[in-house]
Structure 1
Amino acid sequence: MERLDLINIFGEAVLEGNAALFVGAGLSLDAGVPTWSDLLAELRGDCEVPEELTDLPLVAEYIDADVRHGGRDRLEHHILDLIVAANPTPTESHLLIPKLRVKEIWTTNYDELIEQAVPAAAVAIEEPDIQSIGSAKATIIKMHGSVVTAERRWAKQPVITRSDYESYEVDRPRTWSLLRAAYLSRTFLFLGFSFTDPNIEILLRLARTLGTHVHDRHMTVLRRPAEQTTQRRLHDLRVNDLESSGVRVLQIDDFDEIVPLLNDLVRRTRPPRIFISGSQNPGADGGEPNRDVIVPWCQAVANVLIGETGWELTSLGGPAGWDVTSSVALARRAEATYDPNALTFHFRAKEDAPPPMEMRVGTAVYTDLAREQLVGSLLDECRAMLVIRGGQRTAEEIAWAQDRGVGIIPIAASGGAARDYWLAHAGAPPMLGGQPVQATTWANLDSDQHAVAARAAYELLKQAMYRY
């Protein structure tokens, strides 16, 4: 499947409250957690299990059976010691997980990285925990056991041997039944798996036994082998196997692509909301403030936004935010499409009174947050930022938006901070909505014709909204 297809399908499932994430060992490797092979290597040598055996759960089975070298007890202690010694901390991939707003996070990992990244989530480890899963907050379901690093112990013994896998349905019927039910009713994204990971068996088993009922619903991201070898051919066969069973596969060339993908998913799963920034204040070009400078640009932008009733507009109620939003509101009132909840103005209650409004439109929200906190909290819930002129404060808001990966669309011809940002990216326009920006569209943002610049901004807003 294509990258953008995955972003849109899973993103829409998240917004509908019908998405689940299944995290495999791949996300923990960058944090320093040992691989399956590393976990078993020393004991494998002691127990003289041949290297030719590539079935790692079966390797663990033979280590478990070798009581001369400690058997199961040594196996569990050895794995625990290696994970604790690694002292892993959450990576950027882990820290992006809570921003995806997914309510169910499944994992076969033993480490506590997901719990550390999503501290507000409930954690289900034991079978009775399954009964307490609700929809009020996110839940991490740890299928294969979990370590308690600080106490150097297992919260639940690991699923590691071939026998553990084969008896899973009997030993943990509630967990397996819930996974089957979720697979049939939700849209899953399997992340951090590879065909060398023994836990890929879970995905393959679900796909083969339940795939005919959920065709094309679920997705996974897999790294393809670099060269055309026997392994590449085997990889292609396995991919075809998954896709024929209803799991679409996004193939990547390097694991470095995971973080940008997650960042795009975070943006896609935000509300379809635009933060409007800007004012009549001059930027580096100097001059006296004159509100008339921005009014034509605001009106042109409002004209292209009137029909987008599914998009929300938010601002601090400054000149650009007020002029655009109020114009949209008046037109929607006339067309009977007006919704005040979709047009919001945010004011800090401890400041001076907000600027006088010529009419009552939209929804006013008052807060005690400092400006940077307020703007940051708003941008965290926006996919795009529209900038019209503006000065130093607008430039600060642009920087805060960049830090949060918000797509920025500047009306360059309006001058000020908007033009400064546009000029800084004139040679290489930034990506929007996970896709490159056409140079001609970016250039038209600097058109002296208001309608042309507004139409260019509209095209880029659609891209930032992931609407193609």
Structure 2
Amino acid sequence: MNREQLRLIDNLSKELAEGNLAIFAGAGFSRAAGFVDWKSLLKPIADDLELDVEREWDLVTLAQYHANVNLTNRAKLNQLLVTEFSANVAPTENHAILARLPIQTYWTTNYDRLIETALQNNEKVADIKYTTKQLATTRPKRDAVVYKMHGDVEHASDAVLIRDDYERYHVKMQPFITALSGDLIAKTFLFLGFSFSDPNLEYILSRVRIQFAQDQRQHYCILRKASKEPREGQADFEYRQRKEELFKGELLRVGIKVIYVDLFSEITDILKAIEHRHKKKTIFISGAAHDYSPWTEAESEQFVYNLSKAISAKQYRVISGFGLGIGSAVITGVLEQTIMNGGRLDSDQLILRPFPQSQSGQKPLNELWTEYRHNMLAHAGIAIFLFGNKLKDGELVLSNGMREEFDIAVANGIFVIPIGITGSISAELWKEVIQGYDESKYEHGKKITPLLDELGDEATTLNRAQEVILTLLPLI
């Protein structure tokens, strides 16, 4: 990544941590999922008018031409919208990353439901707004608000499609403009999926420009840098480069700083880097213990309690599956630390995911547990493993669930910290980590190595193990 992209990651990570980051998604953000762009959508309309869609630059007016010829009957346009955007298409990786992040505000000019689906897949409650009446209501326990300022695919007749719709927007949809203006003042937006040809962009920019004048918040837009097309002449390419530079200045005039990428895949890399920074503040604690050897039960529970409390005091969020003999101590530690600070316990401090113990649906219980583990670990950047045994048919065995959680964590690039001195499967996992650890992969790799070694050293006490972990966390 270049310096400009790294600065963008720094700035957006800071805004995300402070709860100020919002997303504005354009047509290009859905295209990677398989949906059509505006030109493809309106090609049948252009064919009806005996026009070449490739030669038309004002696609909103093209749609208006069709409505004019058909005496304002836009039934074909509505049907195209329903046909093209109702497909059962899965959200992209970019949608999934954003849905995992604690982003509470989404704006989009898209008609599809990819953002809502991605949030739902992440077990988040989305409050969808595509009519002015919906702005006056609030969905209970919502995690995010999705403003669909140009309508929804299931209500195509009310969607903003033709020039008439845009011209009446400031009257008919004024509350949306007011809401957007307020968010643009209070939040930092990342614009994704916009291009020079996006027919909606000029309307958004005009609203931003009129509202903010010279006193505007810094927003960001990621665009693909112009590259020479096959068979394109040098003069034509240089012309597009000049236009690109002028367009960059126009966006900056309305408070939107452009960050360029050479490939669209780099956008995913940027979003992954932001997620990685965010996830490093979330720690998954995996543990189960029927037997606490080589320690006593009281020593072990006190250790888990003290460790969880200390982690919470360092402003880390804890995720736990409420493991046997471990879960209660994790809860108590985080809860006590939160109350001592005068706060209230919520998902910013602790996420608990007790495993279902009986099969209620068609999916086998072991498959459901695997999905559970993937879902929990998707939020974490660090995973700590403690003890790891259970009774099976009256016999003490190693915890296969913890082994699965470890494998999932490693596969997803999560930094794993097995506390080997707690024995059971954690001791085995610690040996694997030590054997496979490559300090060159980490900025502070040389400092991390001796600390990991201590966590499996028989001379290390539980109190020292806690000190080691608290020293490790900021180095990762």
TM-score (norm 2): 0.68
3-state SS of 1:101 partner: coil
Specify the alignment match of 1:417 in structure 2.
Answer: 429
Specify the alignment match of 2:126 in structure 1.
Answer: 121
Specify the alignment match of 2:41 in structure 1.
Answer: 39
1:147 and 2:149 equivalent? no
Specify the alignment match of 2:220 in structure 1.
Answer: 219
AA of the residue aligned to 1:127: T
Q: Structure 1 residues 253-262 or 370-379, which shifts more?
A: 370-379
Specify the alignment match of 2:382 in structure 1.
Answer: 384
Distance 1:163 1:416 in 2: 68
Q: 1:92 to 1:417 in 2, by over 3 A?
A: same
- Gaps of at least 5 residues in structure 1 are 149-153, 282-288, 352-369, 430-435
Kindly report which structure 2 residues correspond to 1:50-61, keeping only aligned pairs within 5 A, or say none.
Answer: 51-61=54-64
Specify the alignment match of 2:135 in structure 1.
Answer: 130
AA of the residue aligned to 2:438: A
Q: Which of 363, 382, 407 does residue 414 from structure 2 map onto?
A: 407
1:231 and 2:231 equivalent? no
3-state SS of 2:110 partner: coil
Distance 2:334 2:184 in 1: 42
TM-aligned CA deviation for residue 37 of structure 1: 0.6
Specify the alignment match of 1:462 in structure 2.
Answer: 474
3-state SS of 1:213 partner: coil
Question: 2:25–2:191: 8 Å Cα contact kept in structure 1?
Answer: yes
Q: 1:349 to 1:307 in 2, by over 3 A?
A: closer
Question: 1:76–1:157: 8 Å Cα contact kept in structure 2?
Answer: no
Distance 1:161 1:314 in 2: 48
TM-aligned CA deviation for residue 173 of structure 1: 1.0
TM-aligned CA deviation for residue 417 of structure 1: 1.0
Q: 1:84 to 1:382 in 2, by over 3 A?
A: closer
Superposed CA RMSD: 5.0
Specify the alignment match of 2:406 in structure 1.
Answer: 398
3-state SS of 2:90 partner: coil
Distance 1:82 1:279 in 2: 51
Question: 2:129–2:135: 8 Å Cα contact kept in structure 1?
Answer: yes
Q: 1:121 to 1:75 in 2, by over 3 A?
A: same
Q: Structure 1 residues 129-138 or 312-321, which shifts more?
A: 312-321
Q: Give a deviation string over 1:292-311, Cα, whole Å, max 9, x none.
A: 9xx9xx99x97xx7896323
Q: 1:134 to 1:241 in 2, by over 3 A?
A: farther
3-state SS of 1:417 partner: helix
Distance 1:25 1:454 in 2: 49
Specify the alignment match of 2:364 in structure 1.
Answer: none
Specify the alignment match of 1:359 in structure 2.
Answer: none
TM-aligned CA deviation for residue 28 of structure 1: 1.5
3-state SS of 1:167 partner: helix
Specify the alignment match of 1:250 in structure 2.
Answer: 259
Specify the alignment match of 2:25 in structure 1.
Answer: 23
Kindly report which structure 2 residues correspond to 1:49-448, keeping only aligned pairs within 5 A, or say none.
Answer: 49=51, 51-67=54-70, 72-77=73-78, 79-80=80-81, 82-83=83-84, 86-119=87-120, 120-133=125-138, 136-137=141-142, 138-148=144-154, 154-209=155-210, 210=212, 212-216=214-218, 218-227=219-228, 229-269=238-278, 272-277=281-286, 290=294, 309-312=314-317, 379=377, 382-387=380-385, 393=400, 394-402=402-410, 405=412, 407-410=414-417, 416-424=428-436, 426=438, 429=441, 437=443, 440-441=446-447, 443=449
Q: Structure 1 residues 392-401 or 34-43, which shifts more?
A: 392-401
TM-score (norm 1): 0.69
Question: 1:317–1:346: 8 Å Cα contact kept in structure 2?
Answer: no
Specify the alignment match of 2:234 in structure 1.
Answer: none
Distance 1:211 1:456 in 2: 53
TM-aligned CA deviation for residue 71 of structure 1: 5.8
AA of the residue aligned to 1:311: Y
Q: 1:224 to 1:439 in 2, by over 3 A?
A: farther
3-state SS of 1:222 partner: strand
AA of the residue aligned to 2:81: L
TM-aligned CA deviation for residue 204 of structure 1: 2.5
AA of the residue aligned to 2:176: T
Question: 2:85–2:111: 8 Å Cα contact kept in structure 1?
Answer: no
Distance 2:65 2:163 in 1: 9
Question: 1:389–1:416: 8 Å Cα contact kept in structure 2?
Answer: no
Q: 1:124 to 1:306 in 2, by over 3 A?
A: closer
Q: Structure 1 residues 34-43 or 183-192, which shifts more?
A: 183-192
Question: 2:448–2:475: 8 Å Cα contact kept in structure 1?
Answer: no
Q: Give a deviation string over 1:131-160, Cα, whole Å, max 9, x none.
A: 224684133221112222xxxxx3443322
Specify the alignment match of 1:151 in structure 2.
Answer: none
TM-aligned CA deviation for residue 103 of structure 1: 2.8
Distance 2:195 2:50 in 1: 27
Specify the alignment match of 1:362 in structure 2.
Answer: none
Distance 2:356 2:43 in 1: 62
Distance 1:86 1:307 in 2: 44
Distance 2:171 2:356 in 1: 60
Q: 1:387 to 1:95 in 2, by over 3 A?
A: same
- Gaps of at least 5 residues in structure 2 are 229-236, 358-367, 389-397, 422-426
Question: 1:413–1:446: 8 Å Cα contact kept in structure 2?
Answer: no
TM-aligned CA deviation for residue 129 of structure 1: 1.6
AA of the residue aligned to 1:194: S
Distance 2:327 2:87 in 1: 50
3-state SS of 2:62 partner: helix
